[in-house]
Structure 1
Amino acid sequence: AITSQMVHATEVFRLEGYGPISRAMGGTATAFDVGAAGMMTNPATLSLMAQGSELHLGLDVVNTDIDTKNLATGENASSNNHSKNRGPYLAPQAAYTYHNGPLALGVGAFAQGGLGTEYGTDSFLSRATGGLDTGLENSSRLLVLNVPFAASYEVNDKLTVGASLDVMWQGLNLELLLGADQVGSLIGSGRVSGSLVPVLGGLPDLRGAHFSLTKNQPLASGVDAWGLGGRIGMIYKMSNDTILGAAYTIESQMNDMEGRATLTAIDGVAGQIPLDGDIKIRDFQMPAKLDLGLSHRFNDQWMMTVDVSRVFWKHAMKDIDVGFESDGGGNIDILLPQDYKDQNILSVGLAYQTGNWTLRGGARIADQALRSDLLFGVIPAIPKKHASLGFSYDFSKENSVHFAYSHAFKESMDNSSLPNTSAPIRVSHSQDNWTMAYTHRF
């Protein structure tokens, strides 16, 4: 777990599939054997694995293409590798499973998802109200890591049930500049409170406020927290060739993310006034998710899979709740509106087996969970269409390698509304994901 770095998710903050078998087949995983990574979607599928033990070692590689355009001036801010700990994004995987008779057990470490942008210090996003260049950074990095402990039990020759309990960790780096008009809009809508508000309002020429909560390291984050998650699942064998599956992942129960931060007030007369202190990101949760799946094997070579999912973002992500307490006294609380919508996802996969090879392909389409009038340039998690392909090769009965490639097609979204942007912006985001794994059965 401590080797995990960051990963940029494609469906808001979630990866579009776990492990190369699922990823290659459009992220489907509810009703067929995807190996150890099945514990991240439907733990009941662990009972579809062969009897005995299996070791899974893998790696996700994510390369993003993100741009934010100022629609008023035509300027473009590109999210590139301005800093040593961002992009391309890496997420190692490791898991062990044991299947004996009707019981299967598993433990693993997987990145559930995250977010990553890096706009640097000299784009229009670093410009405060009135065109004042600040030289301050705008960036983000979220990593969510799951350590599931899973079990599956075959009740009879048709019905299998499973469950997992996940220990979860999440860490966030954030560099965010809010213009004075954004701050004023938040105050006017009752989203800002605390003893520092009149202090900011008393500056002679307030142009903006900048939050900095970042550790420029591979894993350590400006704020982080531990918590719990989990899921339940079942599969039902309608025949030897057709399997139905269902799984429900509960909303995470994370503690508030805490750490150190600097709040910098930007004034046209007094300059930049930094305040160091403690910061909390309150009640930042990963959403509940319902998966229904079907797999059908046409013959010894061909299999098709379909999953329908609903992700309950609306309850989990209404606001980003920020609380800051200055070392010198004073506090400020800010609610940054997000108001995500619940997301529906349809994914399909196809597999063809010949000799030692299994070839796979898939596609995935989702609703848009983010609202355009609440879009942040540093949180552009908007892709919703994917295509994927991959393969497995069995060197022997004991050793196999697996590979998948997934492309998130370019998606664009405009926002010209306060408080989440000052300038009218258009954010464009596409990306390429690769995942590979080695499995050893014994």
Structure 2
Amino acid sequence: MKLKLNTIRIVSVVCFVAGSQIAHATEVFRLEGIGPISRAMGGVATALNVGAAGMMANPATLSLMAPGSELHLGMDVVTTDINVNNQATGEHAPSNNHSNNRGPYLAPQAAYTYRNGLLALGVGAFAQGGLGTEFGKSSFLSRASGGLDTGLENSSRLLVLNIPLVASYQVNDKLIVGGSLEAIWEGLNLNLLLGADQVGSLIGSGRVSGSLVPVLGGLPDFRGAHFSLSKNQPLASGVDAWGVGGRIGMIYKMSNDTIAGASYAMESQVDDLEGQATLTAIDGIAGQIPLQGDIKVRNFQMPAKLDFGVSHRLNDRWMVAADVSQVFWKHALKDIDVGFVSNSGETLDVRLPQNYKNLTILSVGAAYSTGNWTLRGGGRISNQALRSDTLFAVIPAIPKKHVSAGFSYAFSKKNSVDFAYSHAFKESLGNSSLPNTSAPIQVSHSQHNMTVAYTHRF
């Protein structure tokens, strides 16, 4: 019992450390596989033993682990290559490290699992995903209508952390069932400039309301509005909230060599993200007029996800696996719904359209074991969830093709290390439509992901 309590304390500490940075997720805001075993095999995880990280995919896979206890400690490292091109002027806005708030992105992981007989239990802390961009204060994205330089920042950082409590039970020789209850924390930093034409488009489509609307309209030379809900600190976010989630899963052993699996993760139930913000009205004559106040980002949820998978052991050395997944972004994220109340009581409500599409993902992977080594490789492809006419430069989560490789090395029966590398191929998407952009833009995004984990069995 003392060991379990100490482990829970470790997991809690790592959960807070994980908030320091986050990997830029690659399928909208989700990582392309949790843990190095899954990541190295293209993200497959539904019908094979991927270690403690299985609690973030199919909780029933914990009963595929060896009897006894395991402690899992890991880290993701992600570097991104994001560029926004102004198609009218030819200017470039690269996302670089302009502050200590974003990139390169780190996401620690920690988990403890215990299997005894027919029952397996686990608790962990994992980064489910997020995003991060940093365009600074001097690119064309910081110019308001009429070419007015504002010197205001355009950037983003989303953190999504899951703390699952998992149980898995072997019903008989063929069937395993599992489930989890998860605490979820979301934190968001956002600096976003909207030109006067963007604000006007939002008003015209009924997406802006509140007592500040006539105030902005009454400025002598209104050029735009800038939202800043951001903390330039390793841990804190401008707005954040806690909520709950959960998932269920099953494993069916079709034969000694072939396993089928299925899992379903519910859409998150996270409270409105709340914090302090500054709304700056930009005027060509009066200058910049900052208003301090409270802000909410309403109903910002992570989507439900349905997975089906199969794995097959060809012989003592080779194993292959495949997953098909459906991620229900269409229901989860239709708008970014922002509500601002200034310290003097004026209000502004804005709904920024997103209208994401559902994702269908195919993941395939293979593993080859020899001696103390296991070598892995895989790939992954999906459709595009973002719509070009609602693309934001600060939310370029557009990669959809990945290739990966990795290995495991067992120092002994008790200690092993796992490593994976994943490359997101460059994707480009353009937008020339109000209200989410003023200038016609073309966004390109590629990245390199690495993850490593140490496992101790006892």
**Fold agreement, TM-score > 0.5:** yes
Equivalent position amino acid for 1:265 in 2:
A
1:81-230 equivalence runs, <5 A: 81-230=97-246
Equivalent position amino acid for 1:7 in 2:
A
Q: CA deviation at 1:22?
A: 0.2
Q: Give the structure 1 partner of residue 46 of structure 2.
A: 30
State the secondary structure of the residue aligned to 1:77.
Answer: strand
1:388 to 381, 404, 411: 404
Q: Give the structure 1 partner of residue 4 of structure 2.
A: none
Equivalent position amino acid for 2:404 in 1:
S
Instruction: State whether structure 2 residue 71 is matched by structure 1 residue 61.
Output: no
Compute the RMSD of aligned alpha carbons: 0.4
Q: CA deviation at 1:437?
A: 0.2
Q: Give the structure 1 partner of residue 356 of structure 2.
A: 340
Matches of 1:71 and 1:428, distance apart in 2: 13
1:8 to 6, 24, 42: 24
Matches of 2:370 and 2:257, distance apart in 1: 18
Q: CA deviation at 1:218?
A: 1.1
Instruction: State whether structure 2 residue 417 is matched by structure 1 residue 401.
Output: yes
Q: CA deviation at 1:329?
A: 2.0
Q: Give the structure 2 partner of residue 319 of structure 1.
A: 335
Matches of 1:101 and 1:87, distance apart in 2: 44
Equivalent position amino acid for 2:103 in 1:
G
Equivalent position amino acid for 1:409 in 2:
F
Instruction: State whether structure 2 residue 76 is matched by structure 1 residue 44.
Output: no
State the secondary structure of the residue aligned to 1:21.
Answer: helix
TM-score norm. by structure 1 comes to 1.00
Matches of 2:23 and 2:449, distance apart in 1: 10
Matches of 2:162 and 2:345, distance apart in 1: 37
Matches of 1:126 and 1:322, distance apart in 2: 20
Q: CA deviation at 1:163?
A: 0.2
1:314-337 Cα offsets, whole Å, 9 max, x none, are 000000000000002210000000
Q: Give the structure 2 partner of residue 297 of structure 1.
A: 313
State the secondary structure of the residue aligned to 2:365.
Answer: strand
State the secondary structure of the residue aligned to 1:18.
Answer: coil
Q: CA deviation at 1:84?
A: 1.0
1:42-97 Cα offsets, whole Å, 9 max, x none, are 00000000000000000000000000000000000000000012110000000000
Matches of 1:146 and 1:51, distance apart in 2: 25
Matches of 2:365 and 2:80, distance apart in 1: 24
Number of aligned residue pairs: 442
Equivalent position amino acid for 1:243 in 2:
I
Equivalent position amino acid for 2:197 in 1:
D
Q: CA deviation at 1:215?
A: 0.5
1:378-402 Cα offsets, whole Å, 9 max, x none, are 0000000000000000000000000
Instruction: State whether structure 2 residue 279 is matched by structure 1 residue 263.
Output: yes
Equivalent position amino acid for 1:71 in 2:
Q
Q: Give the structure 1 partner of residue 10 of structure 2.
A: none
Matches of 1:7 and 1:332, distance apart in 2: 32
Matches of 1:41 and 1:394, distance apart in 2: 24
Matches of 1:105 and 1:312, distance apart in 2: 28
1:86-132 Cα offsets, whole Å, 9 max, x none, are 11000000000000000000000000000000000000000000000
Q: Give the structure 2 partner of residue 239 of structure 1.
A: 255
Q: Give the structure 2 partner of residue 373 of structure 1.
A: 389
Q: Give the structure 1 partner of residue 367 of structure 2.
A: 351
Matches of 2:264 and 2:240, distance apart in 1: 26
1:214-252 Cα offsets, whole Å, 9 max, x none, are 111112100000000110000000001000000000000
1:167-222 Cα offsets, whole Å, 9 max, x none, are 00000000000000000000000000000000000000100000001111112100
TM-score norm. by structure 2 comes to 0.96
1:304-363 Cα offsets, whole Å, 9 max, x none, are 000000000000000000000000221000000000000000000000000000000000
Identity rate of aligned residues, in percent?
79
State the secondary structure of the residue aligned to 1:3.
Answer: helix
Instruction: State whether structure 2 residue 96 is matched by structure 1 residue 80.
Output: yes
Give the structure with the higher percent helix: 2
User: Gapped runs of 5+ residues in structure 2?
Assistant: 1-14
Instruction: State whether structure 2 residue 443 is matched by structure 1 residue 427.
Output: yes
Q: Give the structure 1 partner of residue 9 of structure 2.
A: none
Equivalent position amino acid for 1:140 in 2:
S
Matches of 1:25 and 1:305, distance apart in 2: 8
